[in-house]
Amino acid sequence: MASTLILASSSPYRRALLKQLHLPFQTASPHINEDAKPGEAAGALALRLAQEKSRALMRDNPQSLIIGSDQVAECRGQILGKPGNRDKAIAQLQACSGNKVTFHTGLSLLESASNRQVSTVETFTVYFRPLSLPQIEKYIELEEPYDCAGSFKVEGLGIALFEKLDGTDINTLIGLPLIRLVDLLGEFGIDPLKSTAKS
């Protein structure tokens, strides 16, 4: 591979997902303002942040292929951020109880040498069971999902919170839609099934 593959993220979840493709890559943290613009829709926000994350690393990595990804969750038209603490996580899960939550995951691939950027947004919807306060408190006590949009980890006990999942790629829910990423990598001549490199 001519270009260095860089994941523009400090997320351990995204790093673990990208390792599944067995491609050598580096990680770097992009420093951008992640606030939504007034009236900005969840999907548009996810796409813009994914693109900005990859662009933030472009100058320092002139011969690289940079992956940017960002996830925005919404419930009943309201954007759900990362709760950060127990009380906010409880409030989020109470709001989600018995409702559907749609996750918009922006994905962008930027070739810094040519300034070519391809981007997309993948969606994944989860349908929450009606949850009692004791159930919510028990879940938060066990998983402490304070750094997760929507206050849950689907790869753990979070699966018990749902009645149904609706989407193409479960990895979209975790934060990096690998099926679409493989498609985008193919546009730059990279096929994980043809690569002999080990990550």
pLDDT in tens, 146-155: 988 889 888 8
Please name each of the domains of the chain with its CATH number.
4-186 (3.90.950.10)
For 32, other C-beta atoms within 10 Å of its C-beta total: 16
pLDDT in tens, 76-134: 989 988 899 999 999 999 999 999 999 999 999 999 999 999 999 999 999 999 999 99
pLDDT in tens, 181-192: 999 999 999 999
pLDDT at 41 over 70: yes
Mean of all residue pLDDT scores within the chain = 92
Q: Which residues are marked as active site?
A: 70
178-186 and 12-19 helices cross at what angle (nearest 10)? 60
Entry pTM: 0.88
Q: Which distant-in-sequence residues (6+ apart) come within 8 Å of 179 by Cβ?
A: 168, 169, 171
